[in-house]
Chain A
């Protein structure tokens, strides 16, 4: 089954404790991206990757890191989480950039930073 898998789905952590949210897709997509969803703000792009070893900042990259060592994986790293990073995070992948094709989203990872 074609899918984007994120882990963990739910996480409560404390300020400053490094964490990684994993994302894996099995559709051989070149494009992957991370978004955060906050009430009243819709989804905002954090980082994206056009292909292996190619990553770039989205609209809200502060406090986050990503890597793309393999085509299928695109982990999101919070080196020192803060309460303003409490949010619902979505990973997405696509065969091309969004204006040429559909984006496929994971089920989301709800993160709470105390």
Chain B
């Protein structure tokens, strides 16, 4: 079945460092891809999405490009802030009408001043 694999965490960075969180997926067909973020004590929020190959999603300085050839959707940010500390989830949604998001296991990011 479809699945999403994220890099193991936690990831600890200093403020202004470059961030990459790897995400690869396995899916039949052409899924939509998402990054959701979960701040401490809160529910998940959509960070960005891409619905077809080569699309780039971006929001709040974060970017991810839908790479069909490598089945990847890596999250990047050029300069992280302490306020970016959170858990990041990569997810996919297939093209069926089931309404299901398949999530990776989540990657915890801690940014130190």
Contacts and interface: CB of A to CB of B under 8 A. Distances in A.
A14 interface: no
Interface residues of B, number: 25
A99 to B, nearest CB: 4
B41 A107 contact: yes
Contact of A33 (B41, B49, B99): B99
Interface centre among B4, B31, B101, B103, by most A CB within 10 Å? B101
Contact of B32 (A31, A45, A99): A99
Identify whether the interface residues of B are mostly helix, strand, loop, or mixed: loop
Interface in A16-66: 31, 33, 35, 40-45, 48, 50, 56, 58-59
Interface band, chain A:
20 to 34
Given A42-B106, A43-B103, A45-B101, A99 B44 contact: no
B31 A108 contact: no
B51 interface: yes
B20 interface: no
28 contacts: A4-B43, A35-B103, A40-B105, A41-B105, A42-B4, A42-B103, A43-B44, A43-B101, A45-B100, A48-B98, A48-B100, A50-B99, A97-B97, A97-B98, A98-B32, A98-B34, A98-B93, A98-B100, A98-B101, A99-B32, A99-B51, A99-B93, A99-B94, A99-B95, A103-B44, A105-B45, A107-B43, A108-B42
Interface string B16-37: 0000000000000001101000
